[in-house]
Amino acid sequence: MTAGPVRVLLADDQQLVRSGFRLILSVEDDIEVVGEASDGAAAVALARQLRPDVVLMDVQMPVMDGIEATRRIVAEDLAKVLVLTTFDHDEYVFDGLAAGASGFLLKNSDAEHLVDAVRTVAAGHALLAPQVTRRVIEQIVSADGPGNGGAGAPGSAHGPGNAHGQGPASEPRLAELTPREREVLVLVGEGLSNAEIAGRLYLGEATVKTHVSNLLAKLHLRDRVQAVVLAHRCGLV
């Protein structure tokens, strides 16, 4: 995260929605809205031009949808992407996860949650709205069946198991973790924040953050979302 304000690009085909997000975010001293896009193709082009820290991405847009736009933005390492979703479209969350999104937020979230989500993703942390986490994980795990390679979900290339190979023994990378890192991975898989893990294990939050960083590196995972998926696939949660 840069020392200056978090630079945000808004991507939504509804001007009223973009205006609402701009109004909410612009009053924050540490957040700056640098651009708006009304479709996915424009979002990719503006991300290349403006290099924002975070793209707030709707899914259903003309020309190019938000999932494909997310895939291109992440592939080019242009910005982190926070995808907006609803209860009725869990498959979009799954597709966004596979595309490399760093966070998912319900579209009807209140202003405080929107601001916190932008800050969380900008700081390099992954974010799943608590209301959708379990449904997302259930969908990913159920899709990770024979012959589909995990449905393209992150981490599947490294073999986190499938319907015929789940369990800690099927993931040799787990052996590289210390007992404490494995304990932290289980709690990450349960959806706990660093602060909550610190309270559960009677550790400092900075220590928990170090453990999370170490286990992500050892397991070759991009972010916390992938750690949640792996913990569930391996039967740790």
Q: What is the pLDDT of residues 183-219, one digit of tens each?
A: 999 988 877 778 888 999 999 888 998 999 899 889 8
**Domain co-membership, 104 together with 155:** no
Res 78: pLDDT = 93
Maximum mean pLDDT: which of 24-28, 138-142, 228-232: 24-28
**Domain boundary pick from 132, 158, 177:** 132
**Domain co-membership, 123 together with 155:** no
**Domain co-membership, 127 together with 12:** yes
Res 159: pLDDT = 37
**Domain co-membership, 112 together with 152:** no
> Does residue 83 or residue 90 have the better pLDDT?
83
Mean pLDDT of the chain, nearest integer: 79
**Domain co-membership, 64 together with 160:** no
Q: Is residue 170 part of a domain?
A: yes
Q: Is residue 202 part of a domain?
A: yes
Buried b (16+ CB within 10 A) or exposed e, 20-30: ebeebbeebee
> Does residue 40 or residue 220 have the better pLDDT?
40
Domain count, the chain: 2
Q: Is residue 141 part of a domain?
A: no
Q: Is residue 116 part of a domain?
A: yes
C-alpha–C-alpha distance, residues 202 and 228, integer Å:
21
Reported as a single tens digit per residue, the pLDDT across 70-85 is 999 999 999 999 988 7
**Domain co-membership, 15 together with 72:** yes
**Domain boundary pick from 92, 108, 132:** 132
CATH number of the domain encompassing residue 193: 1.10.10.10
- Using pLDDT thresholds of 50, 70 and 90, give the confidence band for residue 38: very high
**Domain co-membership, 116 together with 168:** no
Q: In which domain, by residue range, is 169 found?
A: 148-233
CATH number of the domain encompassing residue 33: 3.40.50.2300
**Domain co-membership, 92 together with 162:** no
- Using pLDDT thresholds of 50, 70 and 90, give the confidence band for residue 155: very low
Beta bridge partners of 8: 33, 54
**Domain boundary pick from 132, 159, 188:** 132
Would you tell me the crossing angle of helices 179-189 and 205-218 to the nearest 10 degrees? 90
Q: Is residue 223 part of a domain?
A: yes
C-alpha–C-alpha distance, residues 87 and 131, integer Å:
9
Q: Is residue 139 part of a domain?
A: no
**Domain co-membership, 81 together with 154:** no
C-alpha–C-alpha distance, residues 2 and 20, integer Å:
25
Is the pLDDT at 46 greater than 90, yes or no? Answer: yes
Q: Is residue 87 part of a domain?
A: yes
Q: Is residue 54 part of a domain?
A: yes
- Using pLDDT thresholds of 50, 70 and 90, give the confidence band for residue 99: confident
User: For residue 129, is it left (φ>0), alpha (ψ between -120 and 50) or beta?
Assistant: beta
Maximum mean pLDDT: which of 24-38, 97-111, 112-126, 219-233: 24-38
**Domain co-membership, 99 together with 156:** no
**Domain co-membership, 94 together with 175:** no
Place of tokens 């924040």: 193
Instruction: List the one residue out of 52, 193, 49, 212 whose CA is nearest residue 122.
Output: 52
**Domain co-membership, 43 together with 81:** yes
Q: Provide the 8-state DSSP code for 7.
A: E
Is the pLDDT at 1 greater than 70, yes or no? Answer: no
